[in-house]
Structure 1
Amino acid sequence: MLKHCLLCIAIVCFNIINAQSSLKEETTVEQDSTKKAVFLKHLGNGYLPTKYFNFDLRYLIKFNQYEGIRTGIGGVTNKAFSESFRINAYSVYGFNDHRFKYSIGGGLKIAPKTNTWLNISYTDDVQETGSTKFLTDGRFFQFFEPRLLNIDLFHKHITKAVNLEHQLFNKLTSEVEFSVSKIEPTYSYSYNLNNTSLTKFRLTMAKASFQWSPFSSFNSENDYAETVVGYPKFSLQYSKSLRNAFNSDFSFSKIDFRALHRLFVTDNDSFSEITLVAGLANGNVPITHMYHAYPNNITKQTIMQRFSVAGLNSFETMYFNEFFSDKFTTFQFKHFLKPFDVYKRNNPQLVLITRFALGDMEQPEKHENINFNTLDKGYLESGFEINKLLFGFGLSFTYRYGAYHLPSFTDNVAFKFTFNITM
């Protein structure tokens, strides 16, 4: 009897140990799978995560016409370091302009329930002239930025900024910023302000930005991360330059609006996308803070000399520095057809595209030593992309027509390759 009892106990113990071992293996596999998913998510967002610090892959290497090769290192502390405090910094070097650029900043979470952060930063870098960025724009990472390869018009800036991020409501994000900047164009330019030509200047800016995503879902327990992406999305930003505040040279205001919508969605791969962007600047606005409608065409003689990389939302036939406006509207329509089932790993996708831009400028004569047109007659281009032909690469063809059609047929054509890859 005792032997039978001991045998039963031994069998039970063996089963328990075996079950625990299996459970441990399953738990280990599940944990490894979770860690891998988290790692890939970080990598897809452009971060290489470590224990306390996430390295930012955006600063590793880039190229543009002014800096040439731009390389460096940067990143931000993660939640393992602190959930209520973060430090971010980067340092890069341009091999053409032979200059180091850098930024250092920090943030303090002052209200966890509303994901409210108070941030400060100091930045010494360059920025593309005529570009506009919404404060509330989420982080967007690309392995390389297509337009950046061909941009040659930059201005230097040293900016000190204090910034407040706040989740007003579940679907409404807000951000305000106060900054003081020293700005110096890297090209020959001056602004005629009251008969005084300014080649470098100071700007003191106050900005308020809002993003409303009424059909998206957010996780309030994870810093209001967007869990379900819904459309349409709306962004609105107001900027005010304060003259004489901290020796600021200009007084002007800007209001920017963007709407993004997807429709005719039959599945995740076939849909239409509409993007509407508008901006209005009023007052004495230097060219650095005007609008350029995101051109992406190099000024070269032949089509093949202009062969480069197509952007995501840029005007492919519009030449760099060809147009500037203090008021403008752009409309873009894309229709993504269902991918062709050709081979297993690469399914090419045809995208039909039409873009329209309209703009104007009140006093172009105040901008000296620079030549440009406005968009008052309306700019049109249409074309198509065949994406993901091989290893994420594809081809793009766009044609310029309408009021700004050029005399030579080939000057209206943009033939480029595309690059699309997801993780």
Structure 2
Amino acid sequence: MRLGFILVVCCICFGSSVNAQIEEKEKDSISKAEFFKKLGNGFFSTKYFDFDLKYLVKFNQYEGLRNGIGGRTNRNFSEVFRLNGYFAYGFRDKTSKYGIGGGFRLSEAKNTWINVDYINDLQETGSSAFLTDSRFFSFFEPRLVNISLFHKHITKSVSIEHQLLQTLLTETEVSTSRISPTYNYTFVTDNGNFNRFDIATATIGAQWSPFSKFENVDNKIIEVENAFPKFTFQFTKGLQDVFNSDFNFGKIDFKTNYEYAHKNESLTSFLMVAGLALGDVPLTHLYHAYPNQINKATIMQRFTVAGLNSFETMYFNEFFSDRFVTLQTKHFLKRFQIGQRFKPQLVLISRHAIGNMNNIERHQGLEFNTLNQIFNESGFEINKLIFGFGLSFAYRYGAYHLPEFEDNFSFKFTFNLSI
């Protein structure tokens, strides 16, 4: 009887020990999975702080080599508030840049956060970002290498993120910026001429994913099946005389992307981006069409790195618009099985853009054209030849075909390795 009792006790203790070991292994497995998931998004995670790898090393034509450090606190630090910041230094312009901010969670179920940020940095002139765009990280940001036209900005902002519906993510932001172009530029308006200016804006953005599937996991909305098309909308209002803002204007931005996977393991993707700006809008807040061709004489002098969704034969600062539409189509063929580790992929690409600008004479000091006819380029990429590197070829044709034949060609390398 006693022996039986002892055996039962031993079994219970042994079973508890085994269960504890299993639970510990499961926790370790989850921790490792979370670590590598964050690493894939560009964060090196420590106990309380996630270092942001995108700040480490960058290069562009204005700053030259740019080194920095930054990151954010994680859930171990706090589940209801977060802090973020970065510091960077450009060795060519010999100037420091930095940002600091924080957020407070109002609702876990709806992933509602209110954020405050202060940024003193550079921004590419003519770029227009969507508030709700998901983060993309790559070891190397291809198009950034070739950018030369930046403006300095000191921006203070307050924003609210909110999952309005499972399929609808929203973000609202109010910001004020002090803008100083790094190039010779004067914006002529009825109220005077400006080469430096203050801009206050209110922006509302939304990303709608009507065909994706979502689940409520641990009181959080998680996307469990990524489906297309997706739609992104954004409206920005320039608030004249608010916080000494100089201009009154409005901007409407739209983006949609679609992917179709074929049965033969090939993939076709479509990306359409459009924008419209009305009112007194300086060049800094207008649109380019994602150009990525540097102004050099020969093809080999222009041999740099191709972007992910950029026009490879469109020269930097060649076109600006206050209204534009771009359409890009890519067809990814099934990867070639040449060897166990050598599996290159051929991608067929076609890109088109059209736009225009009213009162182009108001933008003085910088010469550029408008896209009042259709810009066309087509080409192909051979990706993943070695260590994520490949080659890109594109040809410019149609209304903006250039007189010198070789000026219409783009020959670059690609880099598509992400963690």
- TM-score band, normalised by shorter chain: over 0.9
**Which residue number in structure 2 is paired with residue 233 of structure 1?**
230
TM-score normalized by the length of structure 2: 0.95
Displacement after TM superposition at 1:154 (Å): 0.3
Which of 241, 251, 257 is equivalent to 2:248? 251
**Which residue number in structure 2 is paired with residue 196 of structure 1?**
192
SS of corresponding position for 2:39: helix
TM-score normalized by the length of structure 1: 0.94
Code of the aligned partner of 2:279: G
Preserved contact between residue 138 and residue 418 of structure 2 (Cα < 8 Å): no
Alignment RMSD (CA, Å) = 1.9
Displacement after TM superposition at 1:221 (Å): 3.7
Code of the aligned partner of 1:172: L
Displacement after TM superposition at 1:68 (Å): 0.8
Code of the aligned partner of 2:193: S
Superposition pairs of residues 15-414 of structure 1, within 5 angstroms: 23=19, 26-194=22-190, 196-221=192-217, 223-266=220-263, 269-414=265-410
- Range that drifts further, 228-237 or 341-350: 341-350
Displacement after TM superposition at 1:319 (Å): 0.6
Which of 407, 412, 417 is equivalent to 1:416? 412
Displacement after TM superposition at 1:11 (Å): 7.2
CA distance in 2, matches of 1:36, 1:116: 27
Preserved contact between residue 346 and residue 391 of structure 1 (Cα < 8 Å): no
Displacement after TM superposition at 1:76 (Å): 0.8
Preserved contact between residue 131 and residue 290 of structure 1 (Cα < 8 Å): yes
- Alpha carbons of structure 1 residues 29 and 289: separation in structure 2 relative to 1, 3 Å: same
CA distance in 2, matches of 1:105, 1:358: 38
Q: % of aligned pairs identical?
A: 56
Code of the aligned partner of 2:326: T
Preserved contact between residue 297 and residue 316 of structure 1 (Cα < 8 Å): yes
Q: How many equivalent pairs are there?
A: 418
SS of corresponding position for 1:113: coil
Displacement after TM superposition at 1:225 (Å): 3.7
- Range that drifts further, 360-369 or 30-39: 30-39
SS of corresponding position for 1:149: helix
SS of corresponding position for 1:302: coil
Per-residue CA deviations over 1:215-261 (Å, capped at 9, x if unaligned) read 11234446434332110000000001011111111111100000100
Displacement after TM superposition at 1:273 (Å): 0.3
CA distance in 1, matches of 2:151, 2:353: 24
CA distance in 1, matches of 2:305, 2:214: 34
Unaligned runs of 5+ in 1: none
CA distance in 1, matches of 2:396, 2:29: 49
Per-residue CA deviations over 1:9-65 (Å, capped at 9, x if unaligned) read 787777767666655555444433322221110000010111111111111110111
Unaligned runs of 5+ in 2: none
